[in-house]
Amino acid sequence: MSPFLTALIAGGTILVVILSTDLGTRKVTTMRMLRSILAVVTVFALFVHTLPLDGNDPSLQLAGIGAGVICGLIAAALLPAHRDASGEIHTKGGVGYALVWTVLSASRVLFAYGSEHWFSEGIIRFSIEYKLSGQDVYSNAFVFMALAMVLTRTAVLLNKRRRLRGARMPVTGTPGARQSTTAAPH
């Protein structure tokens, strides 16, 4: 499968899953996190058939993972979490969050399209100069970037949920007050 088609299907699938589970105010549940992980596993199984290890192939694939982690951290920073009065943890995904995912997904697809149609000779020269083995290494780098982004976002959400669950709830009626753990003397 061409890098363009791989980027289009993988990126589109992940974009739909992420935006459908994160936009608006959403409860942070195990099932919500599991859906994202299942999307990652499915995309990986469908699109990563080989793991090129010649020349600088591992470096490009690791660069894809690194870029995905950084982008995932940026996206997760735009997905604030809070605990409501009942103790449930929620996130609120807005326009900025959606734009990060959409722009990055579209950029991967556009680059993959351009590498096949607009600057294919440049990609071939680049591949020869930097000892990259071909289409599979580029496809993998795109898929690894998308997957690392999803996994990073999921890890950050799990950490936010854990941190908020451990935080003390204020006593009702006194904003910011802490509950006393000792009894008052009689």
pLDDT tens for each residue of the chain, 186 residues long: 777 888 888 888 889 999 999 999 999 999 998 988 898 889 888 888 888 899 999 999 999 999 999 999 999 999 999 999 899 999 999 999 999 999 999 998 899 899 889 999 999 999 999 999 988 898 889 889 989 999 999 999 999 999 999 877 655 554 554 443 444 444
CA dist 152 and 73 (Å) reads: 6
pTM above the 0.85 mark? no
Predicted confidence at residue 184, as pLDDT, reads: 40
Give the residue ranges of DSSP H helices in 55-134.
57-77, 95-117, 120-129
Q: Do 142 and 10 form a contact (C-beta atoms < 8 A)?
A: yes
CA dist 160 and 29 (Å) reads: 12
How do the residues of the chain divide into helix, strand and coil, expressed in percent and rounded to 5? 65, 5, 25
Predicted confidence at residue 4, as pLDDT, reads: 81
CA dist 181 and 1 (Å) reads: 62
